[in-house]
Amino acid sequence: MSALLEASGVSVDYHRRGAPALRAVDGADLSLARGEILGLVGESGCGKSTLGRAVVGLLPAAGRIRFDGHPIVPLGRRRRAPGMRGLQMVFQDPYASLNPRRWVGDQVGDGYLLGGASRREALRRAGELLERVGLPADAARRYPHEFSGGQRQRIAIARTLAAEPSCIVADEPISALDASAQASVANLLVDLVRELDMGMVFISHDLSVVRQIADRTAVMYLGRVVEAGPTQELWSSPAHPYTRALISAVPRADGAGVLPVELPGDVPDPARPPSGCRFHPRCPLARPECSRDDPPLVVLRDGRSAACVLQNAGEPARPLADSTTHIGKDAT
Amino acid sequence: MGALLEVEDLTVWLATRRGPRMAVDGLSFQVGSGEIFGIAGESGSGKTMTAMALLGLLPHAARTSGKAVFEGRDLLSMSARQLRAVRGRRIAMVSQDPSTSLHPMLSIETQLTEHMRHHLGLGRSEARGRAVELLATVRIPDPEQALGAHAAQFSGGMRQRIAIAVALACEPRLLLADEPTTALDVTVQAGILRLLHRLRAERELAVVVITHDLGVLSAVADRICVMYGGRTAEVGPRENVLTRPRHPYTRGLLDALPHPEGGAAALRPIPGSPPSLGEVPEGCPFHPRCGYAVPDCRTERPAPVLVEPGHASACPPDPLGGIA
Amino acid sequence: MTASDSPAARSRRDPAARSPWRQPLALVGAAFIVLWVLVALLAPLLAPQGPLDQLSPKLLEPSAQHLFGTDELGRDVLSRVIYGSQVSLPLAFLLVAFAAVIGSVVGGIAGFFGGWVDGALMRLADLVFAFPGIILAMAVAAALGPQLRNAVLAVVVVSWPSYARLVRGLVLSARNSEYVVASRLLGSSAVRTMLVDLRPNIAGPVLVMAALDVGNAVLLLSGLSFLGLGAQPPAAEWGAMVAAGAANFDRWWVGLFPGLCILTVVLAFNFVGDTLRDALDPRTARAIRG
């Protein structure tokens, strides 16, 4: 199966005045097939949003990024190539991603208009799209501020759909929303991906949502993808200690009063990453060689890959030794 | 366990251009010494206004009624001067965003010792010693050095720890934490939750955690109050509320969360959106979104009634009563 | 969590959104502007005499016959003041429009394209900014020859850079906003993005600046005429009339009434402009709406 979106060895540098360039993404690999949802997770500052913006061409990046077989050209002063319109992005903040001073229908219709439709046609089809994403028919003739956060995010999604995309990169699309709106917007995205046979990169810091909706998950740490694989397997038997740490930090609303497991230490400054494996200073399973050798992301069996000395290329993922214990809450 | 804070029939009106609107409507709860009490709700549920009312930090022209008795005195009837003596000293607050609650230009030492010297009348070196202890308590590495630093030099998680240290400076009995971990990564959030849990045990500190995240409350809260439209929907021990919810809204919130074991099942959102200030419907505020609503729900305004010891739900039809 | 996540107030129909218009100063300003526009339009009907008619004795004090007195050539000051509005107001509007359009285009291009384009255009604007407006306008007007048309040109030359700066700033801040990025991702060209996505955001502030600027333009034009670099005698122009008043400073009515005209027009546009700014600025508008 040829990949819809494929990135290999992608690096993104932020150039700062009077300071060395900051490498926010350092040789990351991704691939996405049609009809697939790839969850991209990690702590803030891990480079997941930067990688997401780089693959749609919003940031200049080194490495190879191809969409539908064509190389991505970073968006510059020129108008975006028509072939790239199939690659769209949904942003985190639905308050910033819609023009406050334009009618919702006009903004949604832009995609059709730019695709060659007449203004009338664009408006009519924008109305259809708005209904498709669950908004009232009269939404087209209203301004964004008349809608709630969840509704705005639906509008932003409708706007990308007007370009008839085959791939959507959604950067934290639900984290700015209320709990119940989060679920409904996530459902909408999943439905659209399935129905329109699109691919979606779902960038989120909320692992439990990613677990629920992503077919595959990629975990990033300090600009690198440290583990990737089918979501359920990755979740039930993480191959990288960082993945395991992330998963055990997620609190569950099960009423059991179990304190989530803390990952000690902070994410290091990406401008000065640790030697060897970037996770070793925080890793509960670190060995002496981890501070020296930088493990590459190796392909394991069953569609999984991991960047850890504990894993060997071509073999099934080895379960991680138990070094941390879930600390139950004492009765008080 | 005697209640440290006893809120009774707290009502908050906010001034809007269309006249006063009720943001909190007859809320009652108690928090015992050394207890972690969670208030859950979506935006507009009145949870933040409740905290603001307790601290006397409501916006101008807001009005309150009811009682909030803390250590035997009613916070709502205190003068501004009396409140200032309580605030920071007996009741402290931690807010969502540590980058705004800490002063960017003042050193950590100044921010930590200011309150101690002002409220407790400590001398400079004494206050400094306490500040080092506090930073060690909240697990800031190298506290001595941290004192001279500024907020921007720390990560978000470390800043929140420092904000908690500042809040603890005068040994308050009650800590109000409004979305204390919302801006943080889960790994860092875990550390803050553990810290709150430990502080409660070590210091008999009562903590009110206000959040939209039931997962957070499941981890640390002893009792949980679920708010909707300014009113209590359900209140009770953590385990009862989260495993045997009796109010359809609580049920809906739990169902909207990703399933703990994952799987292909779609997320189940609550239809509609929460009411905004001044648009709370008549009758049960949740009835337009409730799958179990009966005609009475449109007219009757239900008060929480006990459904089992310590567990009250404001839903008289009690459609979930059989599910246990 | 202050922002409520429910449908926001429908501010279009919201009475509070209009509340700045309840401010008395704005009302006074608006009333004066309407009054002056009417006077300019109806000048032939309102004025007792023609602006150039020398029908009366020189330098008569204000009286029932000549409400504002007569000037040094025996012309009715009231009539000249009324006809003067036909000169100052349309020219002020025109030159502000020119300055705003030129400045907006320059600023828009500079802001959107950045780089050397931005550098070159903005240095040019800085060059103009580096001189006090009236001095530069005097230099331009003097170089082109003392004529009303050249005075207008001179004022345009000194006025456009402030629009260019304003628009450039607005474009810069909006250029990287997510809705512009989203529009570019849909395949919008730079020009379309500017015209469709950025124009509505720029129109408001430019309008405010223009409203404030009309007063300035009247002042600058009158100033140039006062200095003899604008309207030439015997034209009824307020600045030139003030100059005549200065020459006859012991006859207070000759200079006072045209001066009052300038004052009221300038103040009126300032009041209205200030109010517009408050109403259009999302921050203050939100504060007003609560």
Model pLDDT, residue A306: 95
The pLDDT of residue B227 is above 90: yes
Using a CB-CB cut-off of 8 Å, the residues of chain A touching B214 are: 253
Q: Quick check: is B324 in a domain?
A: no
Q: Which residues of B touch C287 (CB under 8 A)?
A: none
Name the residue in chain C with its Cα closest to that of B60. Answer: C290
Both B152 and B272 in one domain: the answer is no
> How many whole angstroms separate alpha carbon A58 and alpha carbon C181?
8
Domains of chain C in sequence order: 20-41+75-289 (1.10.3720.10)
Q: Which of A67, A79, A129, A185 to mutate to test the interface with C (most CBs of C within 10 A)?
A: A79
- Residue B322 falls within a domain, yes or no? no
pLDDT beyond 70 at A1: no
Residues B239 and B286 in one domain: yes
Query: CB distance A184–B269 less than 8 Å?
Result: yes
B100 touches chain C (CB under 8 A): no
Contact call for B44 and C289, based on CB within 8 A: no
What pLDDT is stored for residue C13 in this prediction? Answer: 37
pLDDT for the residue numbered B51:
92
* Rounded Cα gap, residues A100 and C177, in angstroms: 11
Higher pLDDT, residue B90 or C5: B90
User: Is C4 in Cβ contact with B44 (below 8 Å)?
Assistant: yes
Altogether, the residues listed in chain C come to a count of 290
Nearest CA in chain A to C113: A77
Instruction: Give me A36's structure tokens.
Output: 């697939």
pLDDT at A176 over 90: no
Rounded average pLDDT over C255-261:
92
Q: Residue B296 is part of a domain; what is its CATH number?
A: 3.40.50.300
Tell me whether residue B8 is in a domain. yes
Q: What is the reported pLDDT for A31?
A: 92
Which chains, if any, share at least 3 CB pairs under 8 A with chain B?
A: A, C
Q: Is the pLDDT of residue C262 over 60?
A: yes
Last residue of a domain, one of B169, B187, B219: B169
In a domain, B319, yes or no: no
* pLDDT number for residue A323: 58
Helix boundaries (H) for C195-281: 199-226, 238-247, 252-280
Answer left, alpha or beta for residue B88, where phi above 0 means left and psi between -120 and 50 means alpha: left
Are residues C5 and A145, on separate chains, in Cβ contact within 8 Å?
A: no
Partner residue facing B44 (CB), from C5, C16, C290: C5
Q: Could you tell me if B66 and B185 lie in one domain?
A: yes
Contact B149, B111 (CB under 8 A): no
Query: Residue A7 pLDDT > 90, yes or no?
Result: yes
Q: What is the pLDDT of residue C24?
A: 82
User: Is the CB of A259 less than 8 angstroms away from the CB of B263?
Assistant: no
Concatenated DSSP letters of A211-237 = HHH-SEEEEEETTEEEEEEEHHHHHHS
Q: Which of B189, B238, B256 sits opposite A249 (nearest CB)?
A: B189
- Looking at residues C156-163, what average pLDDT do you find? 92
8 Å CB contact of A79 and C190: yes
Residue among B145, B148, B156, B160 nearest A267 (CA): B156
pLDDT of residue C185: 92
What is the percent of chain C where pLDDT is above 90? 34
On the question of pLDDT at B244 being above 70, the answer is: yes
CB–CB contact A254 B257 (8 Å): no
Query: So what's the pLDDT on residue A321?
Result: 81
Flag if B273 and C4 touch (Cβ within 8 Å). no
Across the range B30-45, mean pLDDT stands at 92
Whether residue B193 is contained in a domain is answered as yes
User: In this model, does residue B128 exceed pLDDT 80?
Assistant: yes
The pLDDT score that the predictor gives to residue C16 is 42
Asked if C230 and C239 count as a contact pair (C-beta separation under 8 A), the reply is yes
Domain range for B141: 99-169
| Residue closest to C106 by CA, chosen among C91, C127, C120, C96 | C120
Do the domain assignments include residue B28?
A: yes
Mean pLDDT of A282-305: 92
In a domain, B197, yes or no: yes
Note whether B163 and B179 are same-domain residues: no
Angle at B153 between CA B148 and CA B154, to 5 degrees: 105
Last residue of a domain, one of B169, B194, B222: B169
Q: How confident is the model at residue B265 (pLDDT cuts 50, 70, 90)?
A: low
Q: Is the pLDDT of residue B230 over 50?
A: yes
**Angle, CA of B109, B111 and B116, to the nearest 5°:** 90
Query: Which among B43, B273, B279 is the nearest to C1, CB-wise?
Result: B43
List chain C residues with CB under 8 Å of B96.
1
**Within-domain flag for B309:** yes
Q: Test B96 with C1 for CB contact under 8 angstroms.
A: yes
- Give residue C7's pLDDT: 38
pLDDT confidence band for C232 (50 / 70 / 90): confident
- For the segment B40-47, the average pLDDT, to the nearest whole number, is 88
Strand, coil or helix: B214: helix
Same structural domain, B110 and B61: no
Question: Across the interface, which of A88, A145, A181 has its CB nearest the CB of C185?
Answer: A88
Q: How far is A151 from chain C (nearest CA, A)?
A: 9
Shortest CA gap B308–chain C (Å): 33
Question: What average pLDDT does range A99-105 have in this prediction?
Answer: 89
Among C207, A178, A330, C212, which residue's Cα sits nearest to residue B228?
A: A178
Which value does ipTM take for this structure?
A: 0.86
Query: Around A85, how many Cα atoms within 13 Å sit in the side-chain half-sphere?
Result: 23
Q: Chain A interface residues facing chain C, Cβ-Cβ under 8 Å?
A: 56, 58, 75, 77-80, 82, 84-85, 87-89, 91, 93, 95-102, 107, 110-111, 114-115, 143, 145-151, 156, 159-160, 162-163, 177-178, 181
Q: pLDDT by residue (tens digit) across B76-105?
A: 999 988 998 898 889 999 988 777 788 888
Q: Where are the domains of chain A?
A: 97-164
CB contact under 8 A, B277 and C4: yes
The answer on B40 and B156 residing in a single domain is no
Q: Find the length of chain B.
A: 324
In this structure, chain A runs to a length of 332
Highest-pLDDT range among A69-83, B142-156, B197-211: B197-211
Q: Does C13 touch chain B (CB under 8 A)?
A: no
Cβ–Cβ below 8 Å for C290 and B17? yes
Cα–Cα distances in angstroms (integers) from residue B136 to residues A91, A235, B129, B140, in the given order: 39, 35, 11, 6
Q: Which of B126, B147, B169 is the last residue of a domain?
A: B169
Shortest Cα distance from A277 to chain B (angstroms)? 19
Claim to verify: residue B30 and residue B164 sit in the same structural domain? no
pLDDT of residue C282: 53
Q: Is residue B251 very low, low, confident or very high in pLDDT (cuts 50, 70, 90)?
A: very high
Residue A35 C-alpha, separation from nearest chain C C-alpha, in angstroms: 21
The mean pLDDT value for A111-132 works out to: 93
Q: Does B184 share its domain with B259?
A: yes
pLDDT value at residue B264: 58
Cβ distance of C1 and B279 shorter than 8 Å: no
- B198 and B82 in a single domain? The answer is yes
| Domains in chain B, number | 2
In this structure, the answer to whether residues B15 and B74 fall within a common structural domain is yes
C4 with B15: Cβ contact below 8 A:
no
Residue B247: what pLDDT?
Answer: 95
How many angstroms separate the first and last alpha carbons of chain C? 15
Asked if B65 and B181 sit in the same domain, the reply is: yes
Look up the pTM and report it. 0.81
B27 with B84, same domain: the answer is: yes
Neighbouring-strand partners of residue A116 = none
Out of A181, A245, A251, closest to residue B218 by CB: A251
Q: What percentage of chain C has pLDDT greater than the value 70?
A: 89
Mutation pick from A73, A98, A110 vs chain C, by most beta carbons of C within 10 Å, is A110
Residue C22 pLDDT class (50, 70, 90 cuts): low
- What's the confidence (pLDDT) of residue C281? 62
When CB atoms are compared, the residue of C187, C189, C200 closest to A102 is C200
Strand B3-16, strand B19-32: pairing = antiparallel
Mean pLDDT over residues B136-154, rounded? 88
Alpha carbons A205 and A176: distance in angstroms, whole number: 12
Tell me the shortest Cα–Cα distance from A124 to chain B, in angstroms. 26
Q: Identify each DSSP E strand in B17-159 by its residue range.
A: 19-32, 36-40, 63-70, 73-74, 91-94
- Taking Cα atoms as reference points, which of B221, B216, B220, B224 lies closest to residue B241? B224
Band (C100; pLDDT cuts 50, 70, 90): very high
Mean pLDDT computed over every residue of chain C: 84
Residue B155, pLDDT score = 81
- How many percent of chain B have pLDDT more than 90? 53
pLDDT of residue C162 exceeding 90: yes
